[in-house]
Structure 1
């Protein structure tokens, strides 16, 4: 399943509980410790439970696996994965992968993790080669095909992304996440929301219980369509108390309430919602003060509240904590969201500086998002914005 699956937190927590039970019954079960470390580190990495306790649990499981079998490739692969996910320590992770590969020469996970590290370091073509090699070893792995499609999306190679996702669908069949990811492609590429709207309607008609799996994409669709009732329905489908804004950047549900109020022109309701969101986000920042995405969300909320200096300070700090040079994906997200902060507080020149950078490097910022998302409404009347949007337009766009 996609790492962005709506119920991923519940799935990972269930997995961790079962694996903990397994190692309690058999304290020598090295492979279970490896999988336990993977569950804990994934919860931390994708910002579902980014806490010191989760970090410590992942590290303890890895160290136990290494103590049980210090020469096992699987234990070194688990350590490499943990170093990548929890510490962003790419060099040490690569060193552990080299150790793991000696005994796991045909393990697709060694190649795929190498590809993910390459991607985070901005080594895009090397990343793609490693991911393709991983698929050659594991051709029925839909997740790897999704990741290739995702890389092409970040590179704004949308035709190639669509082809990779079509291959993933051949393997995954009716998997909701893959179907939605494929339907989002025309939105990013051509600002065409119709395939996504049609796909969400079709999935809900076939299985209403799938609504939580669609909620993040459904909210984004409704925001871009300025569909106020649709936003309300999509919010009702959220499985938790936060909305995945982009990648691992999560915002409180109340932040979406504030966006909805802004769209309908209700400034008072927007302020009330943003105040609620700020209280919730402040607590997250208190727990993770050096995590760029959390601080960037606080900056967005402060921008919505008109707290200009705080918003700019928080956005700049997020860029310092998560630069593109450290993480090419999350770093580009910080650039784009700092541009939103600047736009919302009236710093248009600064917003365009960030946009000029963000649209020239790989990232999630797309023609469709700039064209349709309400984030960018304060800039729409500026010719500089029109020029940037046009620079991302498909060549055959009207």
Structure 2
């Protein structure tokens, strides 16, 4: 009882109706994903088949499903014709087909009828709750619906801030056209939480995400996507993982086949230190969305933290097979090569592969930072300095901490080149950048640890230790087993720079004995640990955990 819904063909002439066809497909898919007795492949994994003449058997095999739904949509004025065929992916035989000729306003009735007919044809049990969720219209306003479909499409570009801002405008338009469009309000809230998490950690954006989620729940208390939105607000806005998990589990009961739900639950569970459950949920997310590189990357992070490098490499290689020049999977692959083997050759391959692709502004900056970082790890300080100095200050506001990173890299490179005055000047700039970030977001543990590192290199010992301590208090490993170790690694770096070998080695030993990004190979190659190299206990640590690897 498994199905993939292929992109519906738009038989109308204008582009806007292509979005309408996408919307019909998306809603049929969403309705089907509410049926617990079915396995339904997520949208991201089927969109690559748009515009192709489908080879049903091959698609079924690639997506791991027994049935394929394909269809077409023709819209003319207020009339719409939807044609669908349900096909057995093993035999290529038609199981069922239907044509619908309706008014545009009846499109939701078509979608819920379709989902119920498919459930019957596949002999999937349909509970009364599932049936009632399907028959509910999200909006009566056709224009609001079209804006929502386009917004939802753009919101999947997680790393592209320009597309996310377009999505934001379209969600706002949908809600303006229909203030009671709970589904649009919920997805709008979810987008605001993600932007806050990745690009803009302002209190205003955090509040906007919460207000929208609460409004969606008020309008429709049993809407799964509204619970998902509130969960995202607790997760990204408050770091309240238990509250977020409760909301995600409520949402999952209404969307039992939605890959996104398994992804969010898995992401929360790893922060709670429930690694086995987290990995199982992320594997389930991948099985429901096998062509989605985002799910594969998240699963890779789990394997990397567990230092299961064969599984981590196998997983990220699947993502690279899907998108051979994509920036983010290469970024993960480079990190794996360094952590497992101290191997720099993968970084060169990555820079070469991504040359041929159209990078977003964010990706261009990330690539420049990655180059600078690799040069510094290789102790090619002149090259690292050149790369870091080429970053234009005016463009670094996209990411929190980007300006700090530039001047920290410059300071580190100049120190490696024995330019003490130049190094000090750069670390002072890094200190100011972190302090400015803390004025905007006083509880940012990343900004506190960044400030601590700059202070350590400026020999402001007490202030550096205090800032490192504050960062660890804000995100302790006991509350965040996924993000906490990275903060503690930063605390260890601060102590190493200050000459507090005992504390640095104690922290590193702890991080090496539990899931974290720290490996013996990284300790071996990273010059930040040079102050510890004369200490036999540090070498013993590398020998002990290097042998285990």
2:217 corresponds to: 66
> Which residue matches 1:324?
477
Q: Which residue of 1 aligns with 2:518?
A: 365
Distance, in Å, in 2 between the alignment partners of 1:204 and 1:109 is: 31
Cα gap change, 1:175 to 1:394, in 2 (>3 Å): farther
Q: Which has more radius of gyration?
A: 2
Query: In 1, Cα distance between the equivalents of 2:402 and 2:265?
Result: 23
1:151-230 matches, within 5 Å, as 151-204=302-355, 211-230=364-383
The equivalent residue for 1:22 is 174
Task: Tell me what 1:344 maps to.
Answer: 497
Runs of 4+ in 1 over 6 A off after TM superposition: 205-210, 242-245
- Which of 117, 135, 142 is residue 286 of structure 2 equivalent to? 135
**SS of aligned partner of 1:328:** coil
Say which structure is richer in helix: 1
Distance change >3 Å, CA 394–CA 292, structure 1 → 2: same
What is the CA–CA distance in structure 2 between the aligned matches of 1:234 and 1:158, rounded to whole Å?
Answer: 30
Report the CA distance shift for 1:212/1:316 in structure 2 as closer, same or farther (over 3 A): closer
User: Match of 2:543?
Assistant: 390
Report the CA distance shift for 1:233/1:201 in structure 2 as closer, same or farther (over 3 A): farther
Aligned to 1:38: 190
Query: What is the aligned partner in structure 2 of residue 87 from structure 1?
Result: 238
Would you say the 8 A contact 2:304–2:312 is kept in 1?
yes
- Relative to structure 2, which stretch is displaced further, 352-361 or 284-293? 284-293
2:445 is matched with which residue? 292
User: TM-score when scaled to structure 1?
Assistant: 0.90
Q: CA deviation at 1:327?
A: 0.7
SS of corresponding position for 2:183: helix
Q: How many residues align?
A: 391
Cα deviation per residue 1:156-196 (whole Å; 9 max; x = unaligned)?
Answer: 11111000011122333431221232233211100011111
Q: Which moved more, 1:164-173 or 1:113-122?
A: 164-173
Assess if the C-alpha contact under 8 Å between 2:340 and 2:519 holds in 1: yes
Is the 8 Å Cα contact of residues 300 and 340 (structure 1) preserved in structure 2? yes
Take 2:462 and 2:398, find their aligned partners in 1: how far apart are those partners?
25
Tell me which residue corresponds to 1:303.
Answer: 456
Residue ranges of structure 2 left out of the alignment (5+ in a row): 1-43, 45-156
* Structure 2 equivalent of residue 263 of structure 1: 416
TM-score (norm 2): 0.66
Q: Distance in 1 between matches of 2:159 and 2:372?
A: 16
Aligned partner (choices 251, 256, 259) of residue 108 of structure 1:
259
CA contact (8 A) 1:77 1:97 kept: yes
Deviation at 1:50, TM superposition (A): 1.4
TM-superposed CA distance for 1:292, in Å, is 1.9
Counterpart CA distance in 1 for 2:286 and 2:398 is: 31
Greater strand content: 2
Does the CA contact (< 8 Å) of 1:204 and 1:211 recur in 2? no
CA contact (8 A) 2:404 2:433 kept: no
Conserved in 1, the CA contact under 8 Å of 2:404 and 2:429? no
Q: How far apart, in 2, do the equivalents of 1:21 and 1:394 lie?
A: 58
Measured after TM superposition, the shift of residue 250 of structure 1 is 8.3
When residues 111 and 359 of structure 1 are mapped into structure 2, their CA distance, relative to the original with a 3 A threshold, is same
Report Cα offsets for 1:276-298 as digits up to 9, x if no partner. Answer: 11112112122322232211111
2:488 matched to which residue of 1? 335
Deviates more, 1:111-120 or 1:210-219: 210-219
**Structure 1 stretches lacking a partner, 5+ long:** none
Bigger drift between 368-377 and 70-79 goes to 368-377
SS in 2 for 1:365: coil
Aligned residues of 2:396 and 2:403 also touching (Cα < 8 A): no
| Larger RCO (alpha carbons 8 Å, 6+ apart) | 1
